Amino acid sequence: MADLSALSSVSRVSTFTSGVNDVSSVARTRQYLVGGAQNAQAAQEVQGSFADTMADVVRETAGDLKTAEATSVAAVRGEVSAQKVVEAVMKAELSLKSAVAVRDKVVEAYQEFSRMSI
C-alpha cells in the first residue's frame, strides 16, 4: 500500500505543476491585454515562440517515454526496483496524456478557425 500512496502523491504533484503552468499562461495573457502588445512581444522574445514551446514539450515527452522504457529494461535485468519502474511509467503516461490533450486542443482550434467565415 505504501507504493500506491507514493504514486498518488506523485500524481498530485504533477497535477499541481500543470496547474501552475496554466496560471502562468493566464498571467501572460492578462499582461498582454493590460500592458499592450509591445510588452507581451518583449516577453515572448525572452520566453520563445509557441512553436519552440511545443517542440520542447514534444522533446520532454519523448525523453520521458525513453526513460520509462530504459527503466523497464533495467528492471528486467534486475538493476532497478519495481517502484522506480512504476514511477517512470506513470510520469511517461502523464506526459503522453498531456501531449495528446494539447494536440487535441490545437486541432480543435484549427477546426474552429477553418469554420470561420471571412
Express each pLDDT in 55-113 by its tens digit.
Answer: 998 999 999 999 999 999 999 999 999 999 999 999 999 999 999 999 999 999 999 99
- The pTM score is 0.55
pLDDT of residue 48: 76
Cβ count within 10 A of residue 115 = 7
pLDDT band at residue 14 under the 50/70/90 scheme: very low
pLDDT of residue 53: 87
Using an 8 Å Cβ cutoff, are 11 and 94 in contact?
yes
